Amino acid sequence: AYEAKLAAFEARIAAGERIEPGDWMPEAYRKQLIRMISQHAHSEVVGMLPEGEWIGRAPSLRRKLILIAKVQDEAGHGQYLYHAAETLGATREEMTEALLTGRAKYSSVFNYPTLTWADVGMIGWLVDGAAIKNQTMLARCSYGPYSRAMVRICTEETFHHKQGKEMVIRYAQGTPKQRQMAQDALDRWWWPSLMMLGPHDSDSPNTPQLVKWGIKTKTNDEVRQEFIAEHAPELQEAGLVIPDPELRQNPDGTWHHGPIDWDEFWRVVRGDGICNKARLEAKNRAHDEGRWVREALQAYSERGRAQAA
């Protein structure tokens, strides 16, 4: 009976149908989705921290408004994604606990520090740019709630990407000091942005199963190629130098890049990046400081229930 159900499930995916909450699915499909969607949600909320640090130091009111809106959007993305994971049976409490205790993964890229204001622009251009490539691929995912969340999120990230690009291009064409800040930010964010898209395909144990079930519709290296193909020419046109002397376009149009430091990547993923400790401390502090809000909501809903009864 299991074989027949599995065959019917795989036939639906092959036909391009979406799997919805409550539909039959193999346990491994459910587990893979909970793993990926919860890590994605954690990335959104931890991703608020590096840019959030600059809200109080934005150089103008206009930039401050944009940054507040962006950081707030990331919180919203976390909400959509936690809800998508909840449709698979994961609880918010379990996911939060896994994040706060350091058991859960979140994107490596948010363990790097934002040293200058130009980093805020560079994150918008490169990190949101990489996220859009990855999420456009995931918008075609076979699981309905995840794919629909991606469509909405990509629309908002397109605004994030544009504000970052506009800011960096301005600095790249500004005073020598501004140009230096933009170049320095590129030097520090280029490689982490490439790593964000996941390990090399030969070292990506989840990809075969995810691609087979239509969860991922492209491999990590395919998405990385798309990211470089869009961003490398635009960064160069802005007058910036990509910190990879080997980077060049092949005659077939694909891009050749220098070696990615995978040792650094795995160190950061395993918790030993520059900011891993600070990020977890910040999330734990926020959780503790928000306890009274959760308690007040709980008391309010209990009172409502008692009154209704």
Least distance to ligand BYC, CB of residue 266, Å: 8
Nearer to ligand BYC, 57 or 294 (CB): 57
Q: Total residues at the site for ligand BYC (CB under 6 A)?
A: 29
Q: 115-154: which residues touch ligand BYC (CB under 6 A)?
A: 123, 127-128, 131, 134, 138
Q: How far is the CB of 215 from ligand BYC (least distance, A)?
A: 8
Q: Which of residues 185-224 bind ligand BYC (CB under 6 A)?
A: 195-199, 204-207, 210, 220
Q: How far is the CB of 285 from ligand BYC (least distance, A)?
A: 19
Neighbours of 8 (CB within 10 A): 10
- Rounded-to-integer distance, Cα 25 and Cα 303, Å: 39
Residues 271 to 300 in contact with ligand BYC, rule: CB under 6 A = none
For ligand BYC, the closer of residues 55 and 180 by Cβ is 55
C-alpha 50/C-alpha 222 separation (Å) is 27
**Judged by CB under 6 A, does residue 263 bind ligand BYC?**
no
HSE-up (13 A, CA, CB side) for residue 83: 12
Structure tokens at 75: 């919180």
By CB under 6 A, is residue 226 in contact with ligand BYC? no
The answer to whether 180 contacts ligand BYC (rule: CB under 6 A) is no
Q: Quote the least distance from Cβ 44 to ligand BYC, whole Å.
A: 5
Contact 26, 6 (CB under 8 A): yes
* Rounded Cα–Cα distance for residues 51 and 124 (Å): 9
For the bound state, the minimum distance from the C-beta of residue 244 to ligand BYC, rounded and expressed in Å, comes to 18
Q: Indicate the residue among 35 and 92 with the shorter CB distance to ligand BYC.
A: 35
In the list 9, 19, 33, 43, the residue contacting ligand BYC (rule: CB under 6 A) is 43
Residues engaged in binding ligand BYC (CB under 6 A): 35-36, 39-40, 43-44, 47, 74, 105, 107-108, 123, 127-128, 131, 134, 138, 195-199, 204-207, 210, 220, 269
